[in-house]
Structure 1
């Protein structure tokens, strides 16, 4: 009897301790964009006291998803970032996103130790492929780079050298409903309650831009602990969507019912914070609009020197039987004002001609009239785009500039390693850095081509990190950082920007010729085999010819003529 009582107390203590380990926040940001589009950014954050250095912390789970926790613990992952994106974020028209992500799939991670990094990276991508139902398992050493300058840890710096970082991208990967379902299963309440109920597959797929992201980073358990003697883990799951309502409706007015075919439900029972926010920063300046019903409160945030005013709706105050429909109405006809150009943006073009000679043109723009931008830029291209480094030319406003002292280049190996180019730069005010480089297009084996070979091959997006945005009054920043409403807001003031990928044609064989040869060969073989087989199995017998008289023949012709008449 006492034995069962002791087991019961142990289980009760374990349950109470586990419940005190994790916290969950769910939030939705709605922001009107120019030309009638609406940005919707869902963010779900789970904080756990599990230390990635301690395996015993990943034995019992409460709110942190067990499948992801076991993956992190088994392969010693210290920080992980994954995104799946479909569509192109138009920075010059919409401003900066909440978090930049390239089209397709992007994944990079820091590991805790240096042992067997390539094998562990392969196992992690295979695990993520099954976890998110994506094609991340196709990531291999030929597409994996090791950035040294551009990417920085977002969590607590535990001495993360670049040697423990692995980065890869798949520009051709897209976002489907099969990715959304396992994404929602990672949430503590799934899509059964809370803000995640708005994530229906049809409403998400209707957007002109959609991006799923998963970010894991180490944090300090106690914010007041300066030395941070105890570590925790933060999981951030986000979905960013841009909806073009004018494609379906005649007016730019929008509501939750129009966007998601649903209303704001009550909070998830496990959530400490559950709220929806509407960015009303530009209200009464570029346009006049009203938001109904009245928000629970109003919050003002100062980010990168720019103030954002948010109307906050607390989902904890919403009755589960009476959801709230947030409605945005323009008081006057909306005027599509010209959006100020962002402080920094990237242009990227493919040059060259023919099936052998190709070229790359990159333009980095600094539109600020007074301040110099400190930035790093990275290009990673697969081995079949053979960069010719000696052809690289760089100019700033037409004047030659020397990038060689601050440039790092790692040459590719065929089918084993990609090209990697990184450099640091001080970009003067109101200037454009233009980089030109040539490359050769390599021949591939016929079975290395994708199913749609004539579609072309994608060159991965370039990545730039602007380091000194904190000292710039970047009023063109229309987005908010990842932890925009979190008390543990990141101290990193750098901005990550991705360029568009490029679609390039490589020398492609005529795949119709094998088909024609196969058809012709099969036809010849069938005819020859059929004739020989017919002759070999048919049995010939002699039959005496039936003799007929002249009288019978005449009667037969007469009967035939009678039948035809």
Structure 2
């Protein structure tokens, strides 16, 4: 009996390992002479995670899948989910196209997409946001009906499920800090004890020009049950941590600080390093700052020596160093001694003027009427189809009849440019207004969409603690399609909307003045009413 019990346990554990697969990869890619992109990607593949007939998260065979993520998927019937924490602005002109077509990063603040069953009261959606709030130490529990929306145009689900739809919410005011990074690292099987996660320095990560933390739950395969309904048979959990580092600031040391001239000074130098055509080379030429490769030690760049690879990872290599010409690639293993030597990042100054750009801004700054404009510029000799989604808070009353479309600064009828329009109007204190547009983006053309809105007064308790700073408006989400293939996904910058702000010191002043007057008046009257007046008598003797 003991032999058969041990044999059954071995089969059970081995079967569990077959159902799981774990891999991790660190990609280091130079963007410019001063900026390097580091991408930490952790992937977990698991089977039968959506099977509701068994409680797989209690199965001892599952050793890699995080218990809290498995419960979250099963309890809320999540078929697909995307969680984003992002800070900073991705400079398209300087850094080029955003990694992975922008699908692994979100807009400024917090962004959540979830493909789940459509319910009347959205119980699973709010339960999901509350659970994610506790797991990742974020204010996801503030998501309610005002900022929840079911998009129609921008994203398509990986699989098709009946009575399912995407739920979307964004919190642009969310500040990303180390409290959000620590839960991501705790989900990893090796934590930060080994593997590429041991190279993540929390203080250095958040001292970057742009950083993003993301969790993706993707259905990788879809099957059919005996009753004919579709079911997800395998799931992929992807944790991605990205950051754009300033190499000069990262490698700067008090004993050997080298400060290069700004980039605008490069106009005075030719290819030979001569200034203004004169002979004689300056030791701090832009040729050295921009065109010359330099060697970066892993210990200097990441702040710590590499540790051995995670034993659960099935990847043959752990580190990928991409060259500046996008052709030269070098693969490394953390256990390999080559990482102890210098790893050369060949850095070149590259401009990317031929990429689609998006500009998002407020117009007509005033206390009553204002507007919002979205401009897309296509400098390429190719036509694209674009879908854009934007939202405004409920106290910014947007009106669809004020929508204007300008193509190369020429006002055109919106029916001639826009293909589809999906609009959910605002409702005071119930939900925000959402606008989705699909239109053609011709070659060498800029399309500008303008909408006016009216600022509505709000109650005193509805102002944020720092009311004079303003209200954050989430970034616009633009998807660029080449025919029916997704080309890229862009996120604009978030906006800051200012409302007429009352003087919050006035209630305090009124309370103080009223209390003082009442105290003096009541005290005097009460003294006169309760005081006993006794005549003063004099003794004649």
Report the TM-score when normalising by structure 1.
0.78
Mark the CA change 1:6 to 1:375 in structure 2 (over 3 Å): closer, same or farther: same
Alignment equivalent of 2:160, drawn from 154, 158, 170:
158
- More divergent stretch after superposition (98-107 vs 245-254): 245-254
- Quickly say closer, same or farther: Cα 1:328–1:7, change in 2 above 3 A: same
Structure 1, residues 298-341: CA drift from partner, whole Å, max 9, x if none? xxxxxxxxx554211123x436xx963553366xxx76x45022
Q: Distance in 2 between matches of 1:19 and 1:523?
A: 75
Matched, 1:327 2:343: yes
What does 1:92-241 correspond to in 2, within 5 Å? 92-98=93-99, 99-111=104-116, 113-116=117-120, 118-153=122-157, 155=158, 157-159=159-161, 164-220=165-221, 231-241=233-243
Alignment of 1:163-562 (within 5 A): 164-220=165-221, 231-247=233-249, 249=252, 250=257, 253=294, 254-273=296-315, 274-282=317-325, 308-315=327-334, 317-318=335-336, 324=340, 326-328=342-344, 337=349, 339-368=351-380, 370-399=381-410, 400-401=412-413, 402-468=416-482, 493-521=486-514
**Distance in 1 of aligned mates of 2:193 and 2:243:** 21
How many residues in Structure 1 have an aligned counterpart in Structure 2? 481
Whole-Å separation in 1 of the counterparts to 2:51 and 2:516: 66
User: What SS does the aligned partner of 1:390 have?
Assistant: helix
| 1:114 CA drift (Å) | 3.2
- SS state at 1:257 partner: helix
Deviation at 1:5, TM superposition (A): 5.2
Alpha-carbon deviations, 1:88-131, whole Å to 9, x = none?
111222112223410000001001x3345611111101111111
**Residue 309 to residue 174, structure 1, CA distance change in 2 (3 Å):** farther
> Could you tell me how far apart the structure 2 residues matched to 1:172 and 1:239 are?
20
Cα distance per residue 1:70-99 (max 9 Å; x no partner): 011001000000001111111222112223
1:466-491 Cα shifts (integer Å, max 9, x gaps): 12189xxxxxxxxxxxxxxxxxxxxx
Kindly indicate whether the alpha-carbon contact (under 8 Å) linking 2:84 and 2:112 is maintained by their aligned counterparts in 1.
yes
Larger gyration radius, structure 1 or structure 2: 1
In 1, the alpha carbon distance for the partners of 2:498 and 2:185 equals 37
Displacement of 1:444 after TM fit?
A: 1.4
TM superposition shift of 1:464: 1.0
8 Å CA contact 1:442–1:507 kept in 2: the answer is: no
- The alpha-carbon distance between structure 1 residues 447 and 245, as it changes in their structure 2 partners (threshold 3 A), is same
Asked if the contact 2:105/2:212 (under 8 Å) is kept, the reply is: no
The separation in 2 between residues aligned to 1:114 and 1:349, in whole angstroms, is: 34
Query: In the alignment, is the contact (CA less than 8 A) between 1:275 and 1:313 conserved in 2?
Result: yes
The superposition leaves residues 270-325 of structure 1 with CA deviations (integer Å, 9 ceiling, x where unpaired) of: 1111511111033xxxxxxxxxxxxxxxxxxxxxxxx554211123x436xx9635
2-structure distance, mates of 1:66, 1:517: 55
Residues 523 and 242 (structure 1), Cα distance of their counterparts in 2 relative to 1, 3 Å cut: farther
What are the Cα deviations for residues 418-467 of structure 1, in whole angstroms up to 9, with x where unaligned? Answer: 21211222211111001111111121121111111111011111111112
- SS of the aligned residue for 2:175 comes to coil
Q: Secondary structure at the match of 1:164?
A: strand
- Give unmatched runs, 5+ long, in structure 2: 224-229, 259-288, 532-541
Question: What corresponds to 1:559 in structure 2?
Answer: none
**Following TM superposition, by how much is the alpha carbon of 1:403 offset from its aligned partner in structure 2, in angstroms?**
4.0
Deviation of the 1:8 alpha carbon: 3.9
Contact map agreement 1:265 1:323 (CA 8 A) in 2: no
Residues 29 and 36 of structure 2 are in contact (CA less than 8 Å); yes or no, is this contact kept in structure 1? yes
Determine if the alignment matches structure 1 residue 38 to structure 2 residue 27.
Answer: no
Shift of 1:265: 2.2
Match of 1:480 in 2: none
Equivalent residue for 1:26? 24
Looking at structure 1, the residues matched to 336 and 522 of structure 2 have their Cα atoms a distance apart, in angstroms, of 78
TM-score, scaled relative to structure 2: 0.81
Gaps of 5+ in 1: 223-227, 283-306, 471-491, 539-565
Q: How many Å apart are 1:412 and its aligned residue? A: 1.7
Change in CA separation of 1:526 and 1:421 when aligned onto 2, cut-off 3 Å: same
